[in-house]
Structure formats: structure tokens, C-alpha cells
Amino acid sequence: MPIIKTEHLNYEYSSGSVFHKTAISDINIEIEQGEFVALIGHTGSGKSTLIKHLNGLLKPTSGKVFIEGQDIWSDPKNLRKYRFMVGMVFQYPEYQLFEETVYKDIAYGPMNIGIPESEINERVMKSISFVGLDKTILSKSPFDLSGGEKRRAAIAGVVAMNPKVLILDEPTAGLDPLGRDRILREINEYHRNNNVSIILVSHNMEDVANYADKILVMNDTKIVLNGSVSDVYCHAKKLKEIGLSIPQIMEICLGLNERGIPIDPLTTSVEDA
Ligand code: ADP
């Protein structure tokens, strides 16, 4: 059974008003336990809206979200449980750090769900080690950390909730290449050691190819491609070899050629593209 499944998921902002805007349409996806999935697509294609549905932060306008086979909206009392099972790291999560010390910040989530004190300490220690921070950092103010350290401390706060699925929205945005590689390696290690499913929202095809088992490509509210890295990326790799730029490859993966004419990236040959 997939850990997350959606059926005909649609969402419209400001539904029923003149400002209504369809953000996702007819999304049917399945994520298996332990799978590393990348979600890519242009700005505005619907990625953030989709991930906010996967732990009940947004209620579908129509369609369903299942976690471990349960329709998460069938009983809203259970939503809290699903929000812990599916941890969400938003873009620039460091802006959400607010406690006096890094320790308190990471411990905040587990404390709020009544985890015993002794276990909280264990979770904080485990989480900072996952994100590669030294324990000397725990007594510092989060505001005294470097950019990369802040980012990792914020991710540790979500990891401390022991989620079964970890969703990260552009976790490397704004980091230098070293900081970027480090965070991705740590996420991948965490995924491998704990059989946690990862959904990584990314603009970077290289990150995606290095780590993901499966790629979902969104364009204009829809999933236009859902396949293994080799299905999607082998094609993109060939395109790169013949000198196309990453934005051009993205265009092709998103199903449009340079003239805006839809093409099928799995069947179109390099020459055609
Ligand atoms: P992405 O994460 O791929 O950039 P989003 O899910 O943020 O895409 O946005 C999808 C569409 O929904 C875009 O057209 C965006 O302008 C619109 N949208 C996003 N948030 C809101 C909102 N709060 N109110 C109205 N429209 C929104």
C-alpha cells in the first residue's frame, strides 16, 4: 500500500469568487514508503499547492488524499496525526526559528505532542547528528548561526518529529554549492538509514538525478510526467550532451518544445527535440 496516494485532486484558490484560480487539477500520484521522489516544474505550476495537500494543510476543492490507505479528510480529528506523519520543510525554513536556543527550537515540536522529556533529548541529539551539526551548537541562539547552519537546524526541528514522509520545498534555495551538496547528502542519508519517504521540490535537474527514484513533473496545474529517473533523465541527459541548456531541457521535460508546441518527452527522439 502506498504511504501517500491522491485521487483526482483539484484545488482552486478563492473558490466561488471572481478571483478564483485553479492551482492543481486532477492529480493522481502514489508515493511508496522509502521512495525518494522529486517534484519539478516552473514557478506557478502548482508544486507548493500540491505538497500542502499531502499532510492536510490545504483541503482539496475536490478529490482525495490517502495516507496509509485512510482518506485524511474523512475525520478531521485525525488531521493532527497526519501532519506529524508527513513532515514539511517550507522554503527558507530558518525564518521559522524563534526560540532562545537551538535545543529549544528543535525540541519544540516533540514537546508539543507530549513526547516524554527523556525521549526529547534523544530525538534532539539524533536530529542534529542527521543534519551534521555539532552538539555545541545546541546552547546557541539560532540567530547566531550561519545561513547553512540555520537551515540545517530548521530541518532538524522537522526530523525530530520522526515523520514517515519528509517533504522539502527547495531546501537548497539561496545556499552556496557546498552548503547545497551537504544538505542534499544529509537528506539522502537520512532517507536511506530510516526508510523515510522524501518528496523534494527542486528546480535543479542535477540534484534530482543524483538522488531521486522517481520524478514528477508539473506544468500548468497538472502532472505531465511521472516516471523513474532513467525514464525522464536519460532523455534529458542526451539533450544536455547535445548542448541544450538546463532551461531548454526543462522546457522539453515539461512537454513543450521551443516553439511552445507540446511534445512527448518519452517518445520524442533527440533529433526531433
Ligand atoms: P509553485 O509552487 O509551482 O510555484 P504554487 O502552488 O505556489 O506553484 O502556485 C500555483 C498557482 O496558484 C499559481 O498560479 C499561483 O499564482 C496561484 N496561487 C498560489 N497561492 C495562491 C494564493 N494564496 N491565492 C491565489 N492564488 C495563489
Complex confidence, ipTM: 0.99
Q: Which residues contact 242 (CB under 8 A, 6 or more apart)?
A: 270
* Extents of the domains making up the chain: 4-253
Rounded alpha-carbon distances, angstroms, from residue 83 to 124, 171, 250: 19, 19, 32
Q: Please name the residue that has the C-alpha cell 487539477.
A: 25
For atom 10 of ligand 1, which residue has the closest CA?
46
User: What pLDDT does 261 receive?
Assistant: 44
Mean pLDDT of 223-235: 73
Mean of per-residue pLDDT scores for the chain: 86
Instruction: Report which ligand 1 atom has the smallest distance to the Cα of 19.
Output: 25
What are the cell numbers at 97? 526559528
Q: What percent of the chain has pLDDT over 70?
A: 84
How remote is the CA of residue 178 from the centroid of ligand 1, in Å? 30
**What is residue 226's three-state secondary structure?**
strand
For atom 27 of ligand 1, which residue has the closest CA?
13
How remote is the CA of residue 84 from the centroid of ligand 1, in Å? 24
Q: What is the pTM of this model?
A: 0.86
How remote is the CA of residue 118 from the centroid of ligand 1, in Å? 41
Q: Pocket of ligand 1, candidates 49, 50, 91, 217: which has the most ligand atoms within 8 Å of its Cβ, to mutate?
A: 49
Q: Which range, of 46-55, 68-77, 155-164, 247-256, averages the lowest pLDDT?
A: 247-256
What are the cell numbers at 148? 547553512
How remote is the CA of residue 271 from the centroid of ligand 1, in Å? 35
183-209, pLDDT tens digit by residue? 899 999 999 999 999 999 987 777 787
**Residue 247: is its pLDDT beyond 80?**
no
Confidence band of 235 (pLDDT split at 50, 70, 90): low
User: What pLDDT does 258 receive?
Assistant: 44
How remote is the CA of residue 13 from the centroid of ligand 1, in Å? 8
**Residue 257: is its pLDDT beyond 50?**
no
Instruction: Report which ligand 1 atom has the smallest distance to the Cα of 169.
Output: 2
Ligand 1 site residues, Cβ closer than 6 angstroms: 13-14, 21, 23, 41, 43-49
- CATH assignment of 4-253? 3.40.50.300
